[in-house]
Amino acid sequence: MQRFLVAYDGSESARQAAVMAAEMAKKHGASVGVICVGEYRQAAEARDEAEREARRLAEEGAAIVERKGVPATIAVRLGEPASGILQTVLDDPYDLIIMGHRGMTPGRFWMLGSVALKLVNLASCPVLVVRHEGSPAATAG
């Protein structure tokens, strides 16, 4: 069975990536995991808050997938987003990473264009980058 990992941060393009992952999983009989990586600074309370918010977002992403009739698991990590996603794929191999091309900026949550670029260049599996329908490149034509 194929395994897809959705990198989720709550942005519109991440939501669209979760929907696409669910649709692809149904078509191909794949399972779906949803990961959110929260960034935090040194204070312990900041770490706890980042972890709670990352869990909330991962659950939100999983709910999007599950509303399409596909079960989803969640993963939560803290740290630099691209590194957290790459480590997840190393620890628990996936066949495909699906993510939005841009995300929440600035702040503790991620999905900047630079994260997508790092994953495309460094991941051990293919990466599908989903453009938000309202983005300038998606509406050009």
Residues of the chain with pLDDT under 70: 41, 102-113, 132-141
CA distances 53 to 26, 36, 96, 113, 123, Å, are: 28, 9, 25, 21, 25
With beta carbons less than 8 A apart as the criterion, state whether 37 and 85 touch.
yes
CATH 3.40.50.620 fits 3-133, yes or no: yes
Question: In this predicted model, what pLDDT tens digit does every residue of 12-25 receive, in sequence order?
Answer: 999 999 999 999 99
- What is the reported pLDDT for 83? 94
pLDDT at residue number 116 = 85
Beta-carbon neighbour count of residue 90 at 10 Å?
A: 10
Instruction: Delimit the domains of the chain by residue range.
Output: 3-133
Q: Which residue has the tokens 């959705």?
A: 6
Q: Are 81 and 117 in contact (CB under 8 A)?
A: no
